[in-house]
Amino acid sequence: MPIEDKLKLDIIDGEKQYIAEDCQEALQKYSPLQIINTILLDGMKVVGERFGAGEMQLPFVLESAEAMKTAVKFLEPFMEKKSSYSKGKIILATVKGDVHDIGKNLVEIILSNNGFEVVNLGIKQPIESIIEKYRGSDADAIGMSGLLVKSTVIMKENLEYMNDKGFSIPVILGGAALTREFVENECQATYKGAVFYAFDAFEGLKIMEGLAN
Protein backbone atom coordinates (compact mmCIF):
# COMPACT_ATOMS: atom_id res chain seq x y z
CA MET A 1 0.00 0.00 0.00
CA PRO A 2 1.41 3.49 -0.81
CA ILE A 3 2.62 5.34 2.28
CA GLU A 4 0.05 8.12 1.75
CA ASP A 5 -2.82 5.60 2.06
CA LYS A 6 -1.16 3.81 4.96
CA LEU A 7 -0.84 7.01 6.97
CA LYS A 8 -4.36 8.11 6.18
CA LEU A 9 -5.63 4.73 7.39
CA ASP A 10 -3.56 5.03 10.58
CA ILE A 11 -5.58 8.18 11.34
CA ILE A 12 -8.95 6.79 10.30
CA ASP A 13 -8.40 3.56 12.27
CA GLY A 14 -6.84 5.37 15.23
CA GLU A 15 -3.78 3.16 14.88
CA LYS A 16 -0.92 4.58 16.94
CA GLN A 17 1.39 1.57 16.80
CA TYR A 18 2.93 2.19 13.39
CA ILE A 19 2.31 5.88 12.98
CA ALA A 20 5.84 7.06 13.84
CA GLU A 21 7.31 4.47 11.49
CA ASP A 22 4.91 5.49 8.72
CA CYS A 23 5.62 9.20 9.28
CA GLN A 24 9.33 8.42 9.08
CA GLU A 25 8.80 6.73 5.72
CA ALA A 26 6.64 9.62 4.45
CA LEU A 27 9.42 12.09 5.39
CA GLN A 28 11.47 10.63 2.55
CA LYS A 29 8.93 12.11 0.11
CA TYR A 30 7.29 15.01 1.91
CA SER A 31 8.05 17.80 4.37
CA PRO A 32 6.46 17.45 7.85
CA LEU A 33 3.92 20.17 7.05
CA GLN A 34 2.97 18.53 3.77
CA ILE A 35 2.35 15.29 5.66
CA ILE A 36 0.14 17.07 8.20
CA ASN A 37 -1.75 19.33 5.81
CA THR A 38 -2.48 16.83 3.12
CA ILE A 39 -2.30 13.23 4.31
CA LEU A 40 -3.14 13.46 8.03
CA LEU A 41 -5.79 16.15 7.74
CA ASP A 42 -7.38 14.19 4.88
CA GLY A 43 -7.68 11.28 7.30
CA MET A 44 -9.27 13.49 9.98
CA LYS A 45 -11.69 14.79 7.38
CA VAL A 46 -12.91 11.25 6.74
CA VAL A 47 -13.24 10.70 10.51
CA GLY A 48 -15.35 13.86 10.80
CA GLU A 49 -17.57 12.81 7.91
CA ARG A 50 -18.10 9.31 9.30
CA PHE A 51 -18.79 10.62 12.79
CA GLY A 52 -21.20 13.23 11.42
CA ALA A 53 -23.01 10.53 9.44
CA GLY A 54 -23.32 8.30 12.53
CA GLU A 55 -21.01 5.67 11.03
CA MET A 56 -18.30 6.10 13.67
CA GLN A 57 -18.71 6.24 17.43
CA LEU A 58 -17.06 8.79 19.70
CA PRO A 59 -14.45 6.49 21.34
CA PHE A 60 -13.08 5.72 17.88
CA VAL A 61 -12.95 9.42 17.02
CA LEU A 62 -10.92 9.88 20.18
CA GLU A 63 -8.49 7.17 19.05
CA SER A 64 -8.11 8.92 15.70
CA ALA A 65 -7.42 12.17 17.54
CA GLU A 66 -4.76 10.41 19.64
CA ALA A 67 -3.15 8.99 16.49
CA MET A 68 -3.13 12.48 14.97
CA LYS A 69 -1.48 13.92 18.08
CA THR A 70 1.15 11.17 18.10
CA ALA A 71 1.95 11.87 14.44
CA VAL A 72 2.22 15.64 14.96
CA LYS A 73 4.45 15.11 18.02
CA PHE A 74 6.70 12.83 15.99
CA LEU A 75 6.90 15.26 13.06
CA GLU A 76 7.44 18.48 15.04
CA PRO A 77 11.22 18.10 15.59
CA PHE A 78 11.66 17.70 11.81
CA MET A 79 10.05 21.05 11.08
CA GLU A 80 12.14 23.96 9.96
CA LYS A 81 12.57 26.58 12.68
CA LYS A 82 12.80 29.96 11.01
CA SER A 83 13.71 32.26 13.84
CA SER A 84 15.24 32.06 17.27
CA TYR A 85 14.22 35.51 18.59
CA SER A 86 10.68 36.44 19.56
CA LYS A 87 8.81 38.30 16.82
CA GLY A 88 5.73 38.74 18.96
CA LYS A 89 3.46 37.03 21.43
CA ILE A 90 -0.01 35.50 21.41
CA ILE A 91 -2.25 34.15 24.15
CA LEU A 92 -3.96 31.12 22.62
CA ALA A 93 -6.88 29.05 23.93
CA THR A 94 -9.76 26.81 22.99
CA VAL A 95 -12.87 28.58 24.22
CA LYS A 96 -15.17 27.65 27.12
CA GLY A 97 -17.02 24.36 26.72
CA ASP A 98 -14.93 23.09 23.82
CA VAL A 99 -12.36 20.28 24.10
CA HIS A 100 -11.05 20.26 20.52
CA ASP A 101 -7.38 21.18 20.54
CA ILE A 102 -5.63 19.56 17.57
CA GLY A 103 -6.05 22.65 15.37
CA LYS A 104 -5.10 25.00 18.20
CA ASN A 105 -1.97 23.00 18.90
CA LEU A 106 -1.06 23.09 15.21
CA VAL A 107 -1.38 26.87 15.36
CA GLU A 108 1.01 26.86 18.31
CA ILE A 109 3.55 24.74 16.42
CA ILE A 110 3.42 26.85 13.24
CA LEU A 111 3.67 30.15 15.15
CA SER A 112 6.42 29.06 17.50
CA ASN A 113 8.45 27.54 14.66
CA ASN A 114 8.22 30.92 12.96
CA GLY A 115 9.52 32.97 15.85
CA PHE A 116 6.40 33.80 17.86
CA GLU A 117 5.98 33.22 21.56
CA VAL A 118 2.79 31.29 22.24
CA VAL A 119 1.13 31.08 25.63
CA ASN A 120 -1.13 28.08 25.10
CA LEU A 121 -3.78 28.03 27.83
CA GLY A 122 -5.35 24.75 26.72
CA ILE A 123 -8.99 23.81 26.29
CA LYS A 124 -12.32 24.97 27.79
CA GLN A 125 -10.98 28.38 28.72
CA PRO A 126 -13.46 30.97 29.96
CA ILE A 127 -12.81 34.50 28.77
CA GLU A 128 -12.00 35.58 32.34
CA SER A 129 -8.98 33.22 32.37
CA ILE A 130 -7.84 34.35 28.94
CA ILE A 131 -8.02 37.99 29.99
CA GLU A 132 -6.29 37.28 33.28
CA LYS A 133 -3.37 35.76 31.39
CA TYR A 134 -3.33 38.68 28.94
CA ARG A 135 -3.26 41.33 31.70
CA GLY A 136 0.31 42.20 32.55
CA SER A 137 1.63 40.38 29.49
CA ASP A 138 2.97 42.15 26.43
CA ALA A 139 0.96 39.96 24.04
CA ASP A 140 0.22 41.29 20.55
CA ALA A 141 -2.97 39.27 20.14
CA ILE A 142 -5.40 36.83 21.69
CA GLY A 143 -6.19 33.72 19.66
CA MET A 144 -9.39 31.78 20.22
CA SER A 145 -10.08 28.39 18.73
CA GLY A 146 -13.29 26.36 18.78
CA LEU A 147 -14.85 23.66 16.62
CA LEU A 148 -18.40 23.50 17.87
CA VAL A 149 -21.13 25.70 16.46
CA LYS A 150 -21.84 26.85 20.02
CA SER A 151 -18.20 27.96 20.27
CA THR A 152 -18.80 30.56 17.58
CA VAL A 153 -21.49 32.04 19.84
CA ILE A 154 -19.09 31.94 22.80
CA MET A 155 -16.45 33.74 20.73
CA LYS A 156 -18.88 36.55 19.98
CA GLU A 157 -19.85 36.73 23.66
CA ASN A 158 -16.15 36.87 24.57
CA LEU A 159 -15.71 39.87 22.28
CA GLU A 160 -18.70 41.57 23.92
CA TYR A 161 -17.14 40.90 27.33
CA MET A 162 -13.83 42.35 26.18
CA ASN A 163 -15.59 45.44 24.85
CA ASP A 164 -17.38 45.91 28.16
CA LYS A 165 -14.08 45.68 30.01
CA GLY A 166 -12.46 48.21 27.67
CA PHE A 167 -10.04 45.89 25.86
CA SER A 168 -9.10 46.45 22.24
CA ILE A 169 -6.25 43.98 21.76
CA PRO A 170 -6.36 42.29 18.32
CA VAL A 171 -8.15 38.93 18.32
CA ILE A 172 -7.65 36.03 15.92
CA LEU A 173 -10.48 33.52 15.61
CA GLY A 174 -10.20 30.07 14.06
CA GLY A 175 -11.86 26.68 13.98
CA ALA A 176 -13.94 24.51 11.69
CA ALA A 177 -17.38 25.86 12.64
CA LEU A 178 -16.43 29.47 11.98
CA THR A 179 -16.85 31.20 8.65
CA ARG A 180 -15.10 34.27 7.33
CA GLU A 181 -18.52 35.84 6.89
CA PHE A 182 -19.50 35.32 10.52
CA VAL A 183 -16.25 36.85 11.73
CA GLU A 184 -16.33 39.77 9.28
CA ASN A 185 -20.00 40.56 9.72
CA GLU A 186 -20.93 39.58 13.25
CA CYS A 187 -17.67 39.65 15.19
CA GLN A 188 -16.10 42.73 13.65
CA ALA A 189 -19.31 44.65 14.27
CA THR A 190 -19.25 43.55 17.92
CA TYR A 191 -15.69 44.39 18.90
CA LYS A 192 -13.94 47.77 19.04
CA GLY A 193 -10.51 46.26 18.40
CA ALA A 194 -9.36 44.35 15.32
CA VAL A 195 -10.80 40.86 14.77
CA PHE A 196 -9.36 38.49 12.19
CA TYR A 197 -10.55 35.18 10.78
CA ALA A 198 -7.88 32.54 10.20
CA PHE A 199 -8.93 29.66 7.99
CA ASP A 200 -5.86 27.67 9.00
CA ALA A 201 -2.65 27.92 10.98
CA PHE A 202 -0.83 29.57 8.06
CA GLU A 203 -3.39 32.34 7.82
CA GLY A 204 -2.95 32.76 11.58
CA LEU A 205 0.80 33.13 11.00
CA LYS A 206 0.25 35.72 8.27
CA ILE A 207 -1.99 37.75 10.59
CA MET A 208 0.56 37.59 13.42
CA GLU A 209 3.30 38.70 11.03
CA GLY A 210 1.17 41.71 10.07
CA LEU A 211 0.45 42.57 13.71
CA ALA A 212 4.05 42.27 14.85
CA ASN A 213 5.32 44.67 12.16
Feature table: binding site? 97-101, 145, 201
Other beta carbons less than 10 A from residue 167's beta carbon:
18
Nearer to ligand B1M, 28 or 120 (CB): 120
Nearer to ligand B1M, 26 or 107 (CB): 107
Q: Is 58 in the site for ligand B1M (CB under 6 A)?
A: yes
Cβ neighbors of 112 (< 8 A, separation 6 or more) are 118
Q: DSSP alpha helices (H): ranges in the chain?
A: 3-12, 19-26, 32-34, 41-52, 58-75, 102-113, 127-134, 149-164, 180-181, 188-190, 201-212
Q: How near is the Cβ of 91 to ligand B1M at its closest, in Å?
A: 10
Alpha carbons 104 and 65: distance in angstroms, whole number:
13
The answer to whether 151 is a known catalytic residue is: yes
Residue in 188, 200, 209, 212 binding ligand B1M, rule: CB under 6 A = 200
Binding site for ligand B1M (CB under 6 A): 41, 44, 47-48, 51-52, 58, 61-62, 65, 92, 97-104, 106-107, 143-145, 147-149, 172, 174-177, 198, 200-201, 204
Residues tagged active-site: 98, 100, 151
